A and B are shown apart, each in its own frame.
Chain A
Amino acid sequence: MRCDEFQAAILAGEENGGTAEHEAACARCRAEAAHMRATRAVIADSDIWEPPSPNLRGKVVAAVASEASLRLRAVRRRLPWIAAVAALAVVIVGLGAFLTFRNPPDWEVAMSGTQFAPLASGTVLGWNGDAGTRMVLDVTGLDAAPPGYVYEMWLSAGARHISAGTFVEADHDLELWAGVSRRQYPRVWITLEPLDDDESLSGQTVLDTGA
């Protein structure tokens, strides 16, 4: 039995006298056998085979196209020679905001940049709901998160911190959500977090209300 046949047999779960003989004789395959068997368990895991809905691709492309359209509108809004289009876009955005939120925010709080982002500043508008708090973040002077990092917004009460979500770039109004009330979690702040397995806070606070 060759090594590739041994590996195929292990993955297929077809172990027999031949595979045992090869494993005993081949040091390399013997070293890899445990991982091969673990991989076989992954292949046999039903989650691997669970298919997403057929229309998910369309939803993904539509979501990105929608965001691209909003960005394009924002860029056009900045160009003075199409002021009329910009005005229309403002009306559309305003109407959208009205339709989205319908009510004025329940609270508003300003945030200041820290030593990690001294040029950054921002405001957060909040709408209190039964299931939590919806927030719209408006930040200026904050660079996009470097590769391998995201920004994360938190609501805190003392040492208890609740994540309101992550983002990479905040060059326009960004909607975030937390499942708690700001009455109980008054501090609103943003940290820069590495995309790794470490779930502890990085300590790199970039914006903070300081409450």
Chain B
Amino acid sequence: MIRSKHDRRIAAGDPDAVGLWYDEYGRAVFVVAYKALGDRGLAEEAVQQTFLQAWRAMDSFDPEREPGPWLYAIARRAAIDIYRRERRHRTVDEDIEIASLPPSLDRAWDAWQVRLAIDQIPEDERTLMHATHYLGLSHSEIAERLDIPLGTVKSRTHRAHKRLARILSHLRDEASA
């Protein structure tokens, strides 16, 4: 299994293999950090910290296990550390509430899962999802902008949402459990 090959290379301490993990989880780590910190520069710092800390902790990582939840926990912690550091920077009050958490962190796990799911769908379908949900374009506007037939936009968008719903089905199972 390719996943295990990647993970075994990382577990063996191969620094180049971290790039493979970044390719798979980098966007999701960035989303968690960006949601928590609301700043691109700080979020990217948190991403670097996440992968560095994960690599440092490789001795304790089991390559047979799914690394996603483990990486998510490290990413979340890295974002919280930076959030608290920045709060301390910005205040002169000595009575700092150190237990404070980024306000938008409560939905970070859902955001992580959704971003991973989006990264799993084909590029052409992802482009349509981006145009629909991020840019807020109608099917007609997408067809015009991408220069593809309206019917293709509709069928491909529908297929993308079906695929996404299927990938995210485990989330619904978790929620209803």
List chain A positions with a Cβ less than 8 A from chain B.
4-5, 7-12, 31-32, 35-36, 38-39, 42-53, 56-57, 59-61, 63-65, 67-68, 131-132, 144-148, 150, 160-163, 165-169, 177-180, 184, 195-196, 199-200
Contact = CB atoms under 8 A, between A and B. Distances in A.
A61 B18 contact: yes
Contact of A195 (B77, B96, B118): B77
A177 B132 CA distance: 43
Report, nearest first, the 7 A-B pairs whose CB atoms are least far apart.
A179-B88, A7-B165, A8-B161, A49-B134, A195-B73, A168-B57, A8-B162
A131 B85 CA distance: 11
A32 B70 CA distance: 27
Contacts, number: 175
Nearest to B43: A52
Contact of B19 (A50, A51, A57, A161): A57
B82 to A, nearest CB: 10
Interface in B113-127: 114-115, 118
Contact of A60 (B13, B19, B107, B110): B19
Contact of B22 (A46, A47, A57, A160): A57
Chain B residues touching A, majority SS: helix
A77 to B, nearest CB: 17
B60 A68 contact: no
Given A8-B158, A60-B26, A166-B81, A144 B19 contact: no
B18 A47 contact: no
Contacts of B60: 144-147, 168
